[in-house]
Structures are given as C-alpha cells and as structure tokens.
Amino acid sequence: MFDSALGEIMAQTGNKRTTVHGRTPTLTMRRTLRREAPTTIGLLADEQDFAAMRRYRTFVFDDHRVYLEQVEALLRTLTAQGVHTTLALFDPQEYAQYCAEAGIAPDTPAARSRFTAEIAACGATVTYDGQPLKALIPLLIGRAARRATWEYATMLLAGLGDCADCGQDIGCAAFDRASHLLQRTLEAAGPGTHHLVCSTPTEHEQLLAALHTDRATHGPARLDTGEGAEFVSVLAVGIALESHGGVVLRTSTPGAPDRVHGWRLSRGSLVPLTEAEVFSAYCTDADTGEPVAPESGVEYRAGFDIGADAPEQHR
C-alpha cells in the first residue's frame, strides 16, 4: 500500500524528484515502510483444503508438500527482512462464500489477498518467530478450533432472549454466574499451576474449553483473557441450558503429586464429585468406555466446595 502511494506521487510530478519533510524518497525509505507493514499468510493446512483450491486457475501449486515448503521459505525471508508475520487458516469453503457475498471473482490473487486480510482481522492467528511450520500448524488449528467454540457458545447465549419473570438477559446472567464460579474455583484451588477443562453438551455438539493459570502464594491467579472468555462462555452455556456438563481441575505444585478434582454441573451450580467419581471419569476411555490405567504421580481427589454465593440462575 505504501509503495503504490509513493509511486502515485512520483507519477503526478512527472517522475521529478520530490521531497518529504526535506528528504528525497528512496528505495531505502520504501524498504523501511515495508518492514513496518505487517504481513499475514493464509495457510492451507491440510491436503483436503489444498485440493479444493486447485480448482482455481490462478492458484499455481499442485503439490501440498511443495506448497508448505514454499510457505516456510517465504516466512523465513520475511522474518529476515524484519517483517512481522502471522499465519491464519485459509478455509476454501468460507472463501467461496466470502467472494459470493462480496461480489468478487474468486479466481484471482487479489481476492485471496482480500480474504486473508479479513480473516487476519477477525480470525485466529499465530505469530511466526522462526518455528518450524510443522510445529505451528497444530497450534494454529487448535487456536482456530477454540475460537470457533467461543463464537458458537456466544451465539447460543445471545439467542436465549430475556427471562419471562424479571426481563433480564438469560445469556448475560449465565455468563455472570459462570464468571463467578470460575473466580471461586481459582480462589479455592490455592497456589500452583492449574489446568481446567469444561465440557458442556449441546443439541448439535460437545463444547470443550481449556484454561491454564498460575497462582503465586499471594495474589490472584494470572490467566489469559481470551482463554478465560472461552472457558466462561462454555460454562455459561451449560448453566443457561441446564445441561449435564462438568469441570475438571488439575493442579501442579513443586515437589508434590499433581492433584485432580472434578465437579458436575447441576442447575447452575458446580457440585463436587466424589474421589471415586473423579477416578472413574479420569481413568475411563471416553470413546470405548474401557478402563484406562491411572497416571503415575497423580492423586485423584473429590471436588472441593466452591460456595453458593453467586448470582442466582434463572429457572
């Protein structure tokens, strides 16, 4: 964008040398501007998506492995030039829909560039810092999946409407209660490194959200804002729908075995599981129902009392 703007200036002055704040625009200045303009690459992470893009004449690649090698080479080149670069997942189906809604021809590099800019602005991305591409792809896919879960949970909450008795937004009330329950859980968990997983069934799919936090001996737990919002949204869906979800907490502290606690979601509250129920939930294969050997160095404990002084759940 900056290069084209400078080119237009030169054209309008008959290619005469002009000055900007007393300095003559040079190739070095343009390169400086290029380094300050971030770049996003829309990545076709799997072979199925790659095959879908091959129907476009202007998409020049015909081998997914070669394509990934070229993407990685481009990432290294941009980084060597000092350009901040991120990756976003390029979904061919969403791309086709985007082009149809925008009224643009999909078989052009410009359309692909425009779509990539859109997903960079509102989708999941990861920053390239020299890591191997094979290490970034699972991270990107996981981040995109978490964002999709959050968006779906948010959509469900927004569509619940208002409470017939008090007129309060049901989704907002459930979100407030879920936030409170998470806060109380982290307070009661004490110091350590905590990993929480919330599972909530809905009509169409099972929603899962994970949250990692660290808490020192003194002070509140430190958590990622995005992970916190995703976790609370999934828990709020279970509260609002009164579904049979649950929360599992695993805590690590130096010099001690990991501790695992669990709760079931019941009528807007987290009810502690017994030690036997936590053991059974953690040591049973979710797909087959077969027993799984317990982990060495892990203690399976009953869920602790979180407390009930939270905003009331609408019935």
Tens of pLDDT, residues 260-302: 999 999 888 899 999 999 998 888 876 677 888 888 889 999 9
- Burial class of 200 by CB neighbour count within 10 A (0 to 12, 13 to 18, 19+): buried
pLDDT recorded at residue 102: 95
Name the pLDDT band for 37 (thresholds 50, 70, 90).
Answer: low
Cβ(234)–Cβ(265) under 8 Å?
no
Tens of pLDDT, residues 199-218: 998 888 889 999 999 988 88
Residue 252 confidence (pLDDT) above 80: yes
Which amino acid is it at 75? Answer: L
Residue 160 confidence (pLDDT) above 90: no
Residue 310 confidence (pLDDT) above 80: no
pLDDT recorded at residue 166: 62
Instruction: Kindly write down the DSSP assignment for every residue of 239-272, as one continuous string.
Output: HHHT---EEEEEEE-TTS-EEEEEEEEETTEEEE
Residue 5 confidence (pLDDT) above 80: no
Length of the chain: 315
For 11-20, 25-34, 139-148, 171-180, which range has the lowest pLDDT when averaged over its residues? 11-20
Name the pLDDT band for 225 (thresholds 50, 70, 90).
Answer: confident
For 111-125, 132-146, 274-288, which range has the lowest pLDDT when averaged over its residues? 274-288
Token readout for 177 is 């209660």
If you average pLDDT over every residue of the chain, what do you get?
Answer: 84
Average pLDDT over residues 217-226: 82
Average pLDDT over residues 21-35: 60
Average pLDDT over residues 296-312: 77
Average pLDDT over residues 22-34: 60
pLDDT recorded at residue 18: 47
Residue 3 confidence (pLDDT) above 50: no
Name the pLDDT band for 67 (thresholds 50, 70, 90).
Answer: very high
Q: Which residues 6+ apart lie within 8 Å of 289 measured at CB?
A: none
Residue 105 confidence (pLDDT) above 60: yes
Percentage of residues in the chain having pLDDT higher than 70: 83
For 3-12, 248-257, 297-306, which range has the lowest pLDDT when averaged over its residues? 3-12
